[in-house]
A = this chain, B = another copy of it.
Amino acid sequence: MEKIENELLDLAELFKVFGDSTRIKIIYSLIDGEKNVSTLVDDLNMSQSAVSHQLRILKTAKLVRGRRDGKAIYYSLDDDHVKAIFEKGLEHIVHG
């Protein structure tokens, strides 16, 4: 248990990031492909500030990345693992 302890702590942190409805909605919304913040705000029907705060958490956790194009910043899922984890979880929800 001591050997893998740190990985387990990181793993809990990772799932913690997935474990919020706003962030899960952002991830779901980005499965289609990259979107700018305004589009996400419309999709989620939440305040720009709230979405931005959660995007920062997702970015810090390296689950999403952002690229600027003019005034807008386009976010996308950072790698395929993100989608894979999302889908494994959804599988568990759908089949019960």
Contact = CB atoms under 8 A, between A and B. Distances in A.
Interface string A71-91: 000000001011011101111
Contact of A19 (B12, B25, B91, B95): B12
B88 A14 contact: no
Contact of A12 (B13, B18, B29, B43): B18
Interface residues of A, number: 38
28 contacts: A1-B25, A1-B43, A1-B44, A7-B90, A8-B25, A8-B28, A9-B21, A11-B18, A11-B24, A11-B86, A11-B93, A12-B18, A12-B20, A12-B21, A12-B23, A13-B19, A15-B19, A15-B24, A15-B89, A16-B19, A16-B20, A18-B18, A18-B19, A19-B19, A81-B88, A82-B92, A84-B91, A88-B88
